Structure 1
Amino acid sequence: MKIQLSDHFSYKKLLRFTLPSIVMMIFTSIYGVVDGLFVSNFVGKTAFAAVNFIMPLLMMLSTIGFMIGVGGSALVAKTLGEGDNERANKYFSLLVYSVIAAGIVISILGEIFIEPIAYSLGARGEMLNNCVLYSRILFISLTMFMLQNVFQSLFVTAEKPKIGLAVTVTAGCINIVMDFLLIGVFNFGIAGAAIATAMSETFGGLFPIIYFSRKNKSHLKLGKTRFMGKVLLKACTNGSSELMTNISMSLVNMLYNIQLMNLAGENGVAAYGVIMYVNFIFIAIFLGYSIGSAPIIGYNYGSPN
């Protein structure tokens, strides 16, 4: 039985509705884990340390997607609850287009400045080269990854959390298969890990664009809109807690990596990377629940319920 935002939610129904979002976030967190698994086993310690060293920076830059996705989904859901589907779709389109624009700008700046940034964080020699190579490949798909983060929330608002889950699981499987082929079979090294992740992120961001650009069975569809600064600011304000949570986690991880690099070298960074992977999975459970429940609250806030 399909669960709608307008339903009365018991604890059981709430858990059923948010479960796809929880699983979705767990699979998203597995991206880095899979890369680390293959890199550590097939490429070596230095490359593994490089992935763990630069990943917090990449995650921090992509948090704009989380911010607009979570904050915007509540705003769109509230507007749907008010019964104004046309305005909700304009808000929805504005959020998606804004993320695309922000992603392109961040990607270009990242491609230009990643080497001095990695150097300033403490990467040297082969590790610096690995950090730069891995990052520059992932900056190509950063916009798609940000879109994937946005649509993780908006699929829930569209009452299609299972489609969002299917997209994320498929993207995760692409990452695993391509990691195996590019690293384990073709020996592409750390570049193979980055390409595999980029391919999975591209699918995760592109499929929802195609889905919402066409006629679909949800309340939402991409279309014409206009720039609405107040709406965008409201979405960013709503999602600022998600932004700060992700930024703070990334900053803490970056600071740990800097100190570990000084005190224990690559071994310390690699060891801390294993701990981070486990931590990501547990945090994903709570993030998934918040993503899944936010549209429910927003919808009922906007409706006469």
Structure 2
Amino acid sequence: MPIQLSDHFNYSRLLRFTLPSIAAMVFTSIYSVVDGYFVSNYAGAQSLAAVNMAWPVIMILGTLGLMFGIGGSALIAAAQGRGRLKRANEYFSLIVYAAMGLGVLLTVITWFLMEPLMKMLGAEGGLLSDCILYGHIVLLGLVPFIMQMMFQTLFITAEKPQLCFYVTLGAGVANMFLDWLLVGILGWGLFGASVATDVGFLIGGIIPLVYFARKNSSTLRLGKTRWMPHALIKAAFNGSSELLSGISSSIVTLLYDYQLLRFAGENGVAAFSVIMYITFVFFALFIGFSNGIAPVISYHFGARNKDELKNLFKRCFVIIGVSGLAMFGLAETSASLLSKVFVGYDVDLYNMTVYAFRIISFCFLLSGFNIFASSLFTALNNGLISATISTSRSIVFELVSVLLLPLLFGIDGIWFAIWGAEIATIIMAAIFIIRKRKTYGYL
């Protein structure tokens, strides 16, 4: 029997409902991970560094899909909870059309900004050429990428989380196969990796668009809408935390690259690239779970069902706590193996990667709570608190750490920077959760 937003959720139902969203986020993370594996092993450390420097720019833009998807989903699900189904579909259609138009505009603008951005970060010579090559080709798939990121949440709001998983699985498998073929077999290097990524974007973004444009069995369908600027502003504001989190994370990643080029050269950037690939998969579990449960929270918030909100809040915290412990243990025990897969061909680079990964893996104990706290307030239509948590975590606290700690501890200060950000954020999130417990009734 299909699970609906209006259901009561025990642990089993909660995990079954969010599993497709978790799997979808994991497969989304595979794009850069698989690119990184094949580029590192078949094109070398310079090409790997180029991918890590250009990819954050694409992610900043792709996060617009998360903003519209999660922010719009909160608006749509709340309307559904109040029984306003026609209005929910009008919101849905308007948000999809707006995201597509904005994606086209940003593709054109960013195409001309890619070279000066990479130069500003310190790329030059062959590294600069590789950054521009990879960035320009992947930009061609930006609009489908934005759509894919957006539909991951909207599929859940439409009560079709399994379709989200199947589409993302298809996109991920296509990307992996083409990386193997174009980079591993044909030796096309960065060009092959970027083409593989674009094909994955097309599958992940176009198939959902076609599905919702036709008559379907979900609660949502693309169709006629009206110009409702207040709805777009509300959706953007609701999802601003996700947008700001994505932007700030990418900016901080670029800052890491800049600092590592100064303190450790291209090897430092390559080591950080590997760590980001691996941690992105781990973080995807938290993000997928938080995104998957957000429409349920929005629905019961709209229906004013405080008993179910309390139930969801308690169970989510237990799941995140247990998952964080498991991820930390897995990261510590598998650091050597995972690093060897990517950079086993270079002993110095391998040793640096293992050392840094074991330091950074402590963040898994706290990061899940911080990600969920931001998503919780987005689901409750409080974009201000959500944005404050995510922006403070991803840019304010981490930016200060990555700028100051290397001055005191050298390259070790770069690896420890994320600790300070997660500790400061969880204190802030706890304060907001406690202060707003009576307002929303989740405690």
- What is the CA distance between 1:301 and its match in structure 2? 2.1
After superposition, where does 1:1-305 map in structure 2 within 5 Å? Answer: 1-303=1-303, 305=305
Higher mean alpha-carbon deviation, 157-166 vs 221-230, is at: 221-230
For the residues of structure 1 that align with 2:304 and 2:63, how far apart are their CA atoms? Answer: 33
- What is the CA distance between 1:243 and its match in structure 2? 1.6
- What is the CA distance between 1:45 and its match in structure 2? 1.6
TM-score by length of 1: 0.97
Structure number with larger C-alpha Rg: 2
Q: In the alignment, residue 47 of structure 2 is paired with which amino acid?
A: A
- What is the CA distance between 1:67 and its match in structure 2? 0.9
Deviations 1:170-226 (A, max 9, x none): 100000011111112222110100000000001100000000000100010001112
Q: In the alignment, residue 277 of structure 2 is paired with which amino acid?
A: Y
For the residues of structure 1 that align with 2:278 and 2:195, how far apart are their CA atoms? Answer: 23
Residue 16 of structure 2 aligns to a residue whose secondary structure is: helix
For the residues of structure 2 that align with 1:11 and 1:287, how far apart are their CA atoms? Answer: 18
For the residues of structure 2 that align with 1:214 and 1:301, how far apart are their CA atoms? Answer: 30
- What is the CA distance between 1:14 and its match in structure 2? 1.4
- What is the CA distance between 1:110 and its match in structure 2? 1.1
Deviations 1:35-65 (A, max 9, x none): 0001111112211110012212221122111
For the residues of structure 1 that align with 2:5 and 2:241, how far apart are their CA atoms? Answer: 23
CA contact 2:72–2:239 (8 Å) conserved in 1: yes
- What is the CA distance between 1:117 and its match in structure 2? 1.1
Q: In the alignment, residue 228 of structure 2 is paired with which amino acid?
A: M
- What is the CA distance between 1:304 and its match in structure 2? 5.7
Deviations 1:12-44 (A, max 9, x none): 211211111111111111110000001111112
For the residues of structure 2 that align with 1:108 and 1:262, how far apart are their CA atoms? Answer: 31
Residue 162 of structure 1 aligns to a residue whose secondary structure is: helix
Q: In the alignment, residue 91 of structure 1 is paired with which amino acid?
A: Y
**What stretches of structure 1 of length at least 5 have no aligned partner?**
none
Deviations 1:74-113 (A, max 9, x none): 1111111111211111100111111101111110011111
For the residues of structure 2 that align with 1:152 and 1:170, how far apart are their CA atoms? Answer: 13
Give the count of matched residue pairs: 305
Q: In the alignment, residue 249 of structure 2 is paired with which amino acid?
A: M
For the residues of structure 2 that align with 1:139 and 1:250, how far apart are their CA atoms? Answer: 16
Which structure has more relative contact order (CA 8 Å, sep 6+)? It is 1
Q: In the alignment, residue 12 of structure 2 is paired with which amino acid?
A: K
For the residues of structure 2 that align with 1:263 and 1:61, how far apart are their CA atoms? Answer: 29
Q: In the alignment, residue 146 of structure 1 is paired with which amino acid?
A: I
Residue 190 of structure 1 aligns to a residue whose secondary structure is: helix
For the residues of structure 2 that align with 1:180 and 1:198, how far apart are their CA atoms? Answer: 15
- What is the CA distance between 1:262 and its match in structure 2? 2.1
Q: In the alignment, residue 35 of structure 1 is paired with which amino acid?
A: D
Q: In the alignment, residue 168 of structure 1 is paired with which amino acid?
A: T
- What is the CA distance between 1:238 and its match in structure 2? 1.0
For the residues of structure 2 that align with 1:111 and 1:53, how far apart are their CA atoms? Answer: 15
Q: In the alignment, residue 126 of structure 1 is paired with which amino acid?
A: G
For the residues of structure 2 that align with 1:52 and 1:117, how far apart are their CA atoms? Answer: 13
**Alpha-carbon distance change, 3 to 45 in structure 1, aligned in 2, over 3 angstroms:** same
For the residues of structure 2 that align with 1:126 and 1:35, how far apart are their CA atoms? Answer: 19
- What is the CA distance between 1:126 and its match in structure 2? 0.7
CA contact 2:61–2:146 (8 Å) conserved in 1: no
For the residues of structure 2 that align with 1:23 and 1:186, how far apart are their CA atoms? Answer: 30
Higher mean alpha-carbon deviation, 196-205 vs 5-14, is at: 5-14
Percent identity over the alignment is 51
Q: In the alignment, residue 9 of structure 1 is paired with which amino acid?
A: F
For the residues of structure 2 that align with 1:32 and 1:64, how far apart are their CA atoms? Answer: 18
Q: In the alignment, residue 141 of structure 2 is paired with which amino acid?
A: S
Q: In the alignment, residue 102 of structure 2 is paired with which amino acid?
A: A
For the residues of structure 2 that align with 1:5 and 1:92, how far apart are their CA atoms? Answer: 17
Q: In the alignment, residue 179 of structure 2 is paired with which amino acid?
A: D
Q: In the alignment, residue 2 of structure 2 is paired with which amino acid?
A: K
- What is the CA distance between 1:115 and its match in structure 2? 0.8
- What is the CA distance between 1:227 and its match in structure 2? 2.1
Residue 264 of structure 1 aligns to a residue whose secondary structure is: helix
For the residues of structure 1 that align with 2:187 and 2:226, how far apart are their CA atoms? Answer: 47
Moved over 4 A (4+): none
